[in-house]
Structure 1
Amino acid sequence: MKLMTRQAADPEGRMPLMDHLRELRNRLIKAMLALLVGTVIGWIFFNPVWDFLKEPYCALPASKDLNGQTCSLVVNGIFSSFFLRLKIAFILGLVVSSPVWLFQLWAFVAPGLYRKERRWTYVFMGASVPLFFVGTALAYITIDRGLSLFLGFVPDDVSALITVDHYLGYVLAMLLVFGLTFELPLFVIILNMAGVLSSNRIRRSQRMIIFGIFVFSAVATPSPDPFSMLALALPTVLLFEVAALLAFVNDRRRARRPDPYEGLADDEASPLDLEKIDAELEKGESSPR
């Protein structure tokens, strides 16, 4: 009779390379299936999503035709409307299926992390999602301000013909830039907790960092109007100040911990009972096997 033995699970999540590749394949298949289902849902709910996206533009007087009746966004080509619907369906599917593919990513990475690293990952993921959506909400509110400024130069007897692709690219760029920029304080806190960035260094470089935030806001926003730049820069500076304060508190808390190596010279031995360790090693070597 052939004996079947099953290898015990490694508590550290180690496994052969082929097992890693099989698990990665299974995780990717599940994530792609979830994305496919989400895209189908996005295709079905295209009309309300598109009405939501075009609302900042259609609320402007310059978006109407010469009769002041219709919101005039145009498409170029026969297949442009199909690809527009497919693009929005894919983006909505990416958002709808995000809990599934994020879980698959986490389930693949988590076995290689320590318990403390997992706990901090939960905290940072829980904070990054609200920050991203707050940034996108602020971008959605400010979209019409930039459009209103530049479409205001259109003469009264001229109808602005803006292509759907151009407008959608502008909206998506605004949403992504604002959402990702609002993640800045998390990166500052992570670097501080890892010991790479201290609160003293943050304080010394504070003016340059704030200046860099304003420069980045002026370059990254697709609309060159000053209102969009300030709408991105001012909240980012506020979030950076909050992150700097948290870094200061973390450094103060870390400084109060006793240092076992305090007062030791570079060539002085650490305060370990080496004789006891050697005795235990000799006892283990002399024990019968």
Structure 2
Amino acid sequence: MALIGKKKNVPEDGQMELVEHLAELRTRIFRSLLYLIVGMVVTYNFFKPLYRIINDPLTRALVQHGVSGTIKFDSVQDAFFLKLQVSFIAGLAIALPLLVMELWGFIKPALTPKEREPVKFLAPFSVLLFLAGVGTGYAVLPLAYDWMVGYLGDVPDAQLLQDAAKYLLLSVKIILAFGIAFQLPVVLLFLARVGILTSKLMVAYWRHAVVVLAALAAIFVPSNDPITMVMMAVPMAGLYLLSISLVKAFEPREDGTQNKPLLTMILVSLAPAIMLGAVSYWIVRQRAVPIQKPGMILPTATSAPTVSPDIEKRLAALEEKVTQQAEELAALKAALEQKTATPSPVPQATPAPTAEPSATPNPVTPNMPQDGR
């Protein structure tokens, strides 16, 4: 009944008993699960377009390199579990703002009014940074898979038999890694609020910070390819420079009074907003280019890369030359067959000369008697 009943008033000073804290935690966990289930039910009916969106980067990479591939399942129930996994991920993305609200509602009573002031800005700022990271991660997927598939093209007659669950898990890991990496300003501001960092310290050691961020990018990237590492390290370095201004805005003044960094917060918030808009525009432009068979990793003969006009002209001239030579060869063959079919005149045989009787008498043998003698 606490899920749908009257909202319980929580003391602002956070003075609650342990049982009340556990009851509040249970209520918010149940609400979060309800939001997640509703999101899964909604996205379950949109599995095909969602799967095409996830599968699109690998499909384009295979088509571009001319490598054939197909999705495989090890057992008959794997397709059902794949659909549940896609629905869970999409439902979690839809319910994320509500989940953040429930988390903030549980943590808020434990904070003092002074501590809540920066959190009011960080909560929506963190969501905006996470969305910008997710969009950047999805935009990096085509580059990463293009680099990986390029090695398949070096193997003669190579064919990819991709496991659907492993591909989904790898893609989600890359996207989530970018979403978490983009929370760097929130982490740095938290360290500054507890007195570990200052803006002057961040400026003095920015070179060391860039090296550390590059190493962290190499660790966070699940695919271990250099393209994704670079694409993660560069935005993180930019976010570090952005965090210097953010930390300086929330630092107390020399007289101990707090700043009111409304203009600074607005300007800082524009950076992830602009990044998210640019990534969204790039993704829309990329998806506007159709592929031969969306949602399938099986390029056909017509899905080969486009040929330049110069090559097309050369191919047409070569085709015409081959056709002419074929016609000349066919004419020569026909003439040869016609000449072979015509019978040639056979010369008549000359009769052998007959022997004429000799006019001279046969010579008489000396041993034979003549006239009966």
Both proteins in one fold, TM over 0.5 = yes
Q: Which has the higher contact order (CA 8 A, sep 6+)?
A: 2
AA aligned opposite 2:24: E
Aligned length: 247
Determine helix, strand or coil for the equivalent of 1:161.
Answer: strand
Other-structure match for 2:139: 141
Letter in 2 for 1:178: F
**Preserved contact between residue 198 and residue 247 of structure 1 (Cα < 8 Å):** yes
Q: Which residue of structure 1 lines up, in the alignment, with residue 23 of structure 2? A: 22
In structure 2, the CA distance between the partners of 1:112 and 1:166, relative to structure 1 (3 Å rule), is: same
Q: Which residue of 2 aligns with 1:128?
A: 126
SS in 2 for 1:99: helix
Quote how far apart the aligned CAs of 1:15 are: 2.6
- Asked whether the 8 Å contact 2:65–2:150 carries over to 1, the reply is no
From the CA coordinates, give the structure whose radius of gyration is larger.
Answer: 2
Q: CA deviation at 1:57?
A: 0.7
Name the structure 2 match of 1:255. Answer: 254
> CA 1:247 to 1:117, structure 2 compared with 1: closer, same or farther past 3 Å?
closer
Aligned equivalents of 2:145, 2:105: Cα separation in 1: 43
Q: Structure 1 residues 157, 210: closer, same or farther in 2, change over 3 A?
A: same
Question: Which residue is 1:195 aligned to?
Answer: 195
Deviations 1:61-96 (A, max 9, x none): 358997x6xx62222212211111111111112122
- The Cα shift of 1:240 comes to 0.2
1:229 corresponds to which residue? Answer: 229
SS in structure 2 opposite 1:73?
strand
* Runs of 5+ unmatched residues, structure 2: 1-8, 258-373
Once residues 25 and 249 of structure 1 are traced to their aligned partners in structure 2, the CA distance between those partners, rounded to angstroms, is 37
Distance 1:117 1:249 in 2: 15
Aligned counterpart, 2:35: 34
State the secondary structure of the residue aligned to 1:195.
Answer: coil
Amino acid at match of 1:125: A
* Cα distance, 1:102 vs structure 2: 2.5
User: 2:97, 2:127 within 8 Å by CA — same for their partners in 1?
Assistant: no
Checking the alignment, whether the CA contact within 8 Å between 2:10 and 2:109 is kept in structure 1 is: no
Answering whether residue 18 of structure 2 is matched by residue 12 of structure 1, we say no
- For residues 182 and 221 of structure 1, what CA distance do their matches in structure 2 show? 13
Q: Which runs of 5+ in 1 are unaligned?
A: 1-7, 259-289
Contact 1:65 1:72 in 2 (8 A): no
Partner of 1:270: none
Give the 3 Å change call, closer, same or farther, for CA 101–226 of structure 1 in structure 2.
closer
Rounded to whole Å, the distance in 2 between the matches of 1:9 and 1:166 is 44
